[in-house]
Structure 1
Amino acid sequence: MDLLRIRDVEPGELGELAVLCREHAEFDRGLGEPIPPLPDDLAERLRRQIFGPTPEMWCLVAALGDELVGYASYCWVPSTWRGERYVLLDCLYVREGVRGRAVGRKLFDAGAARARELGAERMQWQTPRENHAGQRFYERLGAHGVGKLRYTVKL
């Protein structure tokens, strides 16, 4: 896998990133997650979030040659209890057929390194309860699950 590169997504790749996001949503739906259809203008929404005047997130991609085979997106979240902010790993996804080849680990490690460079001391994320492979992956990284439920409501 010497052609694999972990790097920032480029503006011209947002359509391809949106395809990966759709695959990720389908994967999570298969685990019983009630995920609504993703918006048709997802690439443009990602452009505003990643490359807009006030970027809200950063996104790393795993590129195998010219093809994107995975991504991880990150953003800052304030913590009331600690009076600081932490990095949220919003999504981590590796395309089927490439899993099991350390691509997810490389995306995670690169994101954690970037977070440390930016001054973060903690990173948090979530995974579906039924994603047992994902849970094993995160536990191998030294992470531990926190027994909370995440709720969402449409506004």
Structure 2
Amino acid sequence: MRIERATEADTEVVSRMLGEVEAYYGGADTPADTDQIRAALFGPQPAATVLLARDGDSVLGFASYSFLWPAAGADRSIYMKELYVRDEHRRGGVAGQLMEAVQQAGRDAGCSRLEWTADADNPPALHFYEAFGVEPRKDKPFYRLPL
């Protein structure tokens, strides 16, 4: 298995996996809009980076991240928005390798910390993150304002 940064040629597979993520959370398994993906990942002002876990030609999962500023003082943080492993590849170390790759991207960029959220009704994810020895923060509620 190898972890590598997605390229524009990976737009279709990212689209399909975003549909799988929606289905995982109870929505429709509908591929995401490829034009939106191209603009978000490969346009003049990329909003995020996607790392793909591959085994040969198969994509096993992905992680997406963005950089945030300020984190503490004037330093930066890396924010992992999504960590997803396809059902048939779960519990095989894929998520751990993706998580390590995101951490390394943060270290390489000089970030002081990695931040992420997890859904409270996703026990497998919560259990996975507990293995890193990180307690969920109780002092920072998460808010979402539709635009």
Please give the TM-score of this superposition, normalised by the length of structure 1.
Answer: 0.84
Shift of 1:78: 2.2
CA offset digits 1:128-147 (Å, max 9, x no partner)? 10111111111112222112
Aligned to 1:16: 13
Aligned to 1:98: 89
* RMSD (CA atoms): 2.1
Aligned to 1:46: 37
Contact residue 23 and residue 29 of structure 2 kept, 8 A: no
Following the alignment from structure 1 to structure 2, what is the Cα–Cα distance between the partners of residues 40 and 75? 22
Contact residue 14 and residue 46 of structure 1 kept, 8 A: yes
Contact residue 75 and residue 111 of structure 2 kept, 8 A: no
Identity %: 25
Asked if residue 149 in structure 1 is aligned to residue 146 in structure 2, the reply is no
Aligned to 2:114: 123
Shift of 1:86: 1.0
> Could you list the runs of 4 or more consecutive aligned residues of structure 1 that deviate by over 6 angstroms after TM superposition?
37-40
Contact residue 17 and residue 68 of structure 1 kept, 8 A: no
Contact residue 18 and residue 42 of structure 1 kept, 8 A: yes
Aligned to 2:57: 66
Following the alignment from structure 1 to structure 2, what is the Cα–Cα distance between the partners of residues 131 and 41? 22
Aligned to 2:70: 79
Aligned length: 146
Following the alignment from structure 2 to structure 1, what is the Cα–Cα distance between the partners of residues 72 and 8? 36
2:24 is aligned, of 27, 49, 63, to 27
Unpaired segments ≥5 residues, structure 2 = none
Q: Higher relative contact order at CA 8 Å, sep ≥6: structure 1 or structure 2?
A: 1
Out of 74-83 and 19-28, give the one that drifted further: 74-83
Contact residue 16 and residue 32 of structure 2 kept, 8 A: no
Aligned to 2:126: 135
Following the alignment from structure 2 to structure 1, what is the Cα–Cα distance between the partners of residues 45 and 79? 17
